[in-house]
Structure 1
């Protein structure tokens, strides 16, 4: 028996990536709306009624409207709209107990790209007792320009955008609420994202002073915490710190690599998460969540 899946917003960047991952799968039948009717409410409502699961690849306001018309169709929402909303299961399968919760959920809010890397770095250290909820954390990150949507993609393709720029400098990035909630933080971290002149790929970094960590923890203690936390994860690996961290190393996959850098002697450590912002940061995790919801043996999202 196949699962019927509707991608609402399949013409967008994330939707196209999800469509590519699902096409040709024998366990899935795609429910699609003709391109010229993709904004037609009646056509979309009929697609929701036919589908077992719908994946929303829409702006926040449109995602909220889509949920209202979806009826009993199970939902994976790739927007920011429901990530800390009551009644929604957070779609980050690597968190404790989360894969089981996703499998039985009617409403799943897909994790954000920067949030994926940030929570992946913070939560293992919180659960291991090495970080406190009110520690003053500093996060930085750089993404490929596809994370900025059609307008930013257009700037880079036209050659009018800078090679590198900071944005969201007012400390109000839309991923911060989910980072705090699922990172188990009570104090807002300083978070500064940037965009580089390449299409896909992302590095998230967390910068730490040893004397602020419980027990003056060093590199080996951090590595032990990550290794234990991700022992059963199928798409997250702790790897030795490379001399150069390539933001594009995970492109085209649903994998994420974590490494611990810095010096115990200097007392300053940086941990990095490398992922494809359109893979593990978006479409790959959406498919990973879908696989859990429909009960397929394939859970990697590839």
Structure 2
């Protein structure tokens, strides 16, 4: 029997991408709400309770409303909003975060899909903190650039309308209160909130997250090869994961550091660059903000939950 899936918010960017990824699946039955009934709470409630898995692609408050509309013990939930990412009782949907995270997701009734930005920071920092190469109170900064699709429909429409006149490089989050900071700190195992300074570029999708490290103040300064080995060992132990680690190579630049390189895939590739003489390093994650960063992660979590 096909697993019944209801995407609440299927008309949004993430919802449309998820539906497209699931459209040809014979093992799933996609429940859909008529466009004229999207704001009808009773119709939404009926579909939410009829689904085996509900995928919520909604703003935070609307996602909370949908969760409260579920009145049974059988509907499982994947929530793509920020509402439950650090909430007790919700599994965090980054399957490669730890050796047992995929099994935690597989057995969970409630899964919070990760934000696109935090995954790159968590993917690079957490293995180093767990290996003892960085202390949990290390002062961290996180930077990066993402395609404008990460801003949702309104930003997409704005960039498309402006065409060549759209801003090529727009820093934001300059109040240092970005909504992704709590999960970034919590799941990277940081004791201090990092400085996070994201940028939107004039391209549709794809992203790079960078974590520069000033290592000279540490009692013992790790070598670049040690940083790389700790990250590589972590992901080598994750069976079935989609995160890979590039070889440790000294270079001035690389064509692989292209934010659009893995567009329309679920891949994430991590890089470590360092200068041991100056005790400096930079960790870089390249992935698709709509793939591993959003809809791809949701489908990966769905497959874990239904045993596909």
SS of alignment partner, residue 216 of structure 2: helix
**8 Å Cα contact 2:97-2:122 kept in structure 1:** no
Structure 2: state its 5+ residue gaps.
Answer: none
Structure 1 residue 214 displacement after superposition: 6.3
1:107 aligns with 2:110: yes
1:175 aligns with 2:186: no
Structure 1 residue 139 displacement after superposition: 0.8
Q: Distance in 1 between matches of 2:133 and 2:54?
A: 39
Q: Which moved more, 1:284-293 or 1:234-243?
A: 234-243
Q: Distance in 1 between matches of 2:204 and 2:269?
A: 19
Q: Distance in 2 between matches of 1:214 and 1:2?
A: 57
For residue 132 of structure 1, the aligned residue among 117, 131, 135 is: 135
TM-score computed with the length of structure 1 as normaliser: 0.95
Determine the structure 2 residue equivalent to 1:84. Answer: 86
**8 Å Cα contact 2:5-2:51 kept in structure 1:** yes
Residue deviations 1:76-114 (CA, integer Å, cap 9, x gap): 000000001111111111122211111111111101000
Q: Distance in 2 between matches of 1:135 and 1:261?
A: 19
The equivalences for 1:137-286 within 5 A come to 137-159=140-162, 161-213=166-218, 215-231=220-236, 232-233=238-239, 234-240=241-247, 243-244=254-255, 245-286=257-298
Determine the structure 2 residue equivalent to 1:39. Answer: 39
TM-score computed with the length of structure 2 as normaliser: 0.93
Q: Distance in 2 between matches of 1:205 and 1:80?
A: 22
Determine the structure 1 residue equivalent to 2:58. Answer: 58
Matched pairs, number: 296
Q: Once superposed, what is the RMSD of the aligned Cα atoms?
A: 1.3
Structure 1 residue 192 displacement after superposition: 0.5
